[in-house]
Chains A and B, each alone.
Chain A
Amino acid sequence: MRALRALFERELSLAFGRGGGPLLACGFYAGIAVMLPLAEGPDPARLSAVAVGAAFATLALASLISLERLFERDFDDGALDLLTLGGAGLALVSAVKCFAQWLATGLPLAIVAPLVAISLGASPSTAPLIGLASLLAGLGFSFIGGIGAALALGTRQGGVLIALIVLPLFTPLIVFGAGAIQAFQSGLEAGPPLALLAAYALCACALAPFAMAAACRNALN
């Protein structure tokens, strides 16, 4: 327990520094929000129609940014070898890493997400729901992204590989997340898609660590 807490603190401090950390992801996110009106034209009706969808798709891409380094640095500098020799096991190590990654990038993104959606024309009443959906989706993005990051260890062009592996698995999160918000906007029940989103994200939390552990073992051997 003490070892895991120590690992969590280390991962959190590394995640905040990793590839620009939360600032880069949030900046990327805000950048899309600024460019979309330039590309799409400033007509509020058109923008508000795509606001939620664009915000959610951007969220998925922004989550990808720092994933490449999730395991890579520890792999390159030998820390992953030493992490396997601790009592916790690689699955728990992976889970702690992804959880810290979620806190360092998913949480800031979930705070920025409602602002971006509203500035693109979504109704302010949707803000809490967008925040919640982004938070849940971010949890899924981190854990599923971790699988891609672990599988890409030791390859060149790891970032491309991660995107290839991970983006298809992101789709349910995007569909249910944006679906919940659109349902709410059109006066329907947001609960069911939100529940499906939570189920998918939690399922990823439960299963992904084992896949990551196996992929790391394979890369070390």
Chain B
Amino acid sequence: MTENASRLSGLKLEAVTLSRGARRLVADVNLSLSAGELVSVTGANGVGKTSLIRAIAGLIAPDSGVIDFFSGLSALDAETVRTEQVHLLAHQDGLKSARTVRQELTFWSQWFGGQAGLDTAVEALALRALLDLEVRKLSAGQRRRLALARLVAAPRRLWLLDEPMAPLDALNRERLAEVMDQHLKAGGMIIAAVHDALPLAGKTLQLERAS
């Protein structure tokens, strides 16, 4: 679907400054990321990790600074990249409680351009037994696994994850680490806001409160 020429292989943030309302969050964030790399974004509660992730996803306009996407050395159109090659996993997972796991996974997979069936995603996050349950009946961890399964069901290059591990138990943290590892090995990129270090090698971006 995505031609090689426009395949996302790099991301660069230069002097990005964000604020919410009148409150300045982060100032002058610089970051560069290339294919196969993971960046953990850390920092205190409310420092702006989520906002940074939303800015990369194009949902918040930065006050200043630039966010550029690259394929090799050529710059890509940010809007196109965001609608074709970016996945977002946030606290609010967008799952509708009255619909079944299967319905939601199918819908989001198609929405994000997933071509293959759901089997790989269902296996990777062990959702087989939950497929016919309504989303409202899931525990927080099961719900998170469903949200994560979307990323596997519709392959996209850049994953923006906001505390992906938070509600998961030890076994499922291992599963997720495995999924993330495979994504990176296939040339994908991950930016994850975390409090506890991820069990994967990668860079760290420490956010400080802007003065």
Residues of A within 8 A of B (CB): 2-3, 5-7, 9-10, 13-14, 17, 73-74, 76-87, 89, 220-221
Contacts and interface: CB of A to CB of B under 8 A. Distances in A.
Interface stretch (B6-14, B82-90, B202-210): B82-90
Given A10-B103, A81-B94, 11 more contacts: A3-B113, A7-B107, A9-B107, A77-B92, A78-B93, A79-B95, A82-B111, A85-B57, A86-B112, A87-B113, A221-B60
B32 to A, nearest CB: 22
Interface in B66-100: 82-84, 86-88, 90-96, 98-99
B107 A10 contact: yes
Contact of A77 (B84, B87, B96, B107): B96
Contacts of A73: 96
A7 B98 CA distance: 16
A81 B88 contact: yes
B164 to A, nearest CB: 14
Q: Quick one: which of A2, A78, A79, A85 has the most chain B CB within 10 A?
A: A85
Given A3-B113, A87-B83, A221-B61, A81 B90 contact: yes
Q: Is the interface on chain B under 10, 10 to 19, 20 to 34, or 35 or more residues?
A: 20 to 34
Contact of A6 (B82, B90, B91, B106): B106
11 contacts: A3-B113, A7-B111, A77-B92, A77-B95, A78-B94, A83-B111, A84-B83, A85-B57, A85-B82, A86-B83, A221-B59
A83 B83 CA distance: 9
Contacts of A6: 106-107, 110-111
A85 B95 contact: no
Q: Chain B: interface secondary structure?
A: loop
B6 to A, nearest CB: 13
B199 interface: no
Nearest to A83: B111
A6 B91 CA distance: 24
Interface string B102-126: 0100111011110000000000000
Nearest to B57: A85
B141 interface: no
B111 A78 contact: no
Given A14-B96, A221-B59, A85 B112 contact: yes
Contacts of A81: 54, 57, 59, 88, 90, 92, 94
- Top 3 A-B pairs, shortest CB-CB distance: A78-B92, A79-B94, A6-B110
A87 B2 CA distance: 12
